[in-house]
Structure 1
Amino acid sequence: MIDLAQAPGAGEAWDKPRAVVYAWRICELLFVSSPWQISSRLRVAALRAFGSEIGENVTFRPRTRVSFPWKLHIGSGCWIGEGVWFHNQDHVFIGSNVVVSQECFITTGSHRARSDMGLVTSPVHIDDGAWVTSRCMVLGGTHIGQSAVVEPLTVVRGDVPANAVYGRPNGPTVIRERFREDDAR
């Protein structure tokens, strides 16, 4: 059994002083994750002010969340749908002309579930022309190739080849046991 009281904290992913992180949270609440139909340019300006690298003609719809804008890199001509959450403890690299549709969750972090629950991060790469359709979950270490399409409600881990249509037509399945009796502790 894991003692969660002893788990390492997630603050190690911040890469900025506490004051900067808290200032970002206020700015995010007012301008980025707000449901108000304010200008996409204002959202992009707020993200850039906190270190995001964002190309020209990028649309950010309302209710978008970005955990750490200084770890977000987006090319030109992209469309980020309403309710997208970049839970980016590591870097997220998005090419040009990419669509990330409504309510997608892109996370670069996880935890060592079989030991101390410590934070483990790895970047996400989404290449030019890709389309991550609505309500997908993209996990750390994923690379989505150029012009690939990820079908709705898909969990993506690993590599998606260029020009592929990626999904799980047979639905989810049990992968493995979390704890096994033969594991030495």
Structure 2
Amino acid sequence: MDDVPIIDLSKAPGERAAWDRPSWQVYLWGICELLFVTNPWQISSGLRIRVLRAFGAEIGRGVIFRPRTRVKFPWKLHIGDRSWIGEGVWFHNQDHIYVGHDVVISQETFLTTGSHAHRRDMALITRPIRVESGAWITARCMVLGGAVVGRSAVVEPMSVVRGVVGAGERWGGDPFLQRGPRW
């Protein structure tokens, strides 16, 4: 087993590679996220949205943003009108996440745009995520960078989403397969 290589993580490139803002702004966001967004108290969805917008998030009208949500970088978050963001959703958006209008992202779903060059040097690799209008990502799903969830598509609970889910399709399971049409 000694012939299996190990990547020296002290030499891994990319620390803070996704920040694209001054350190003070990232740290200030961390404090505001803790107090107003991740906070489990049932404070106003409108207050959460105002704080996110103050840090550059583009959030449409009539959006519901439940407690215990997390947003890595609000300036890389774009959500259309009347969308619902469920309790405990985590936008780990080291790249942009685009959410259309009238989208539901249910409880405990994790959307992550980042990964690592695991065969090379563990450098950060990011790809955006797009969730098109009318889609529903149900509870406890994981959406990986580069994924596209099509218009009015449904993703079943506890699914790992990679690649493209077509418009009006229903996907889920392990392995992640098309289950049929939504309608």
- State the shift of 1:2 in Å: 1.1
Query: Of 2, 8, 11, which residue of structure 2 is paired with 1:3?
Result: 8
**Secondary structure of residue in 1 paired with 2:16:** helix
Structure 1 Cα separation of the partners of residues 71 and 112 of structure 2: 10
- Map of 1:129 onto structure 2: 134
Q: Residue 48 of structure 1 aligns with which residue?
A: 53
Contact in 1 for aligned 2:159/2:174 (Cα 8 Å): no
Taking the aligned partners of 2:15 and 2:107, their CA distance within structure 1 comes to 27
What pairs with 1:1-185 in structure 2 (closer than 5 Å)?
Answer: 1-168=6-173
- AA at the equivalent of 2:84: W
Cα RMSD, aligned residues only: 1.3
**In structure 2, the residue corresponding to 1:41 is in which secondary structure?**
helix
Give the TM-score normalised by the residue count of structure 2.
Answer: 0.92
- Structure 1 residues not aligned, in runs of 5+: 173-185
Measure, in 1, the Cα distance between the counterparts of 2:50 and 2:23. Answer: 21
Structure 1 residue 142, shift from structure 2 partner: 0.4
Match of 2:3 in 1: none
Change (3 A) 1:131 1:10: farther
Query: What is the CA–CA distance in structure 1 between the aligned matches of 2:123 and 2:71, rounded to whole Å?
Result: 22
How high is the TM-score relative to the length of structure 1? 0.91
Partner of 1:180: none
Provide runs of 4+ in structure 1 moved above 3 Å.
169-172
C-alpha separation in 2, matches of 1:140 and 1:59: 24
Larger fraction in strand: 2
Aligned 8 A contact 2:159 2:176 in 1: no
- State the Cα distance separating 1:5 from its structure 2 match: 1.4
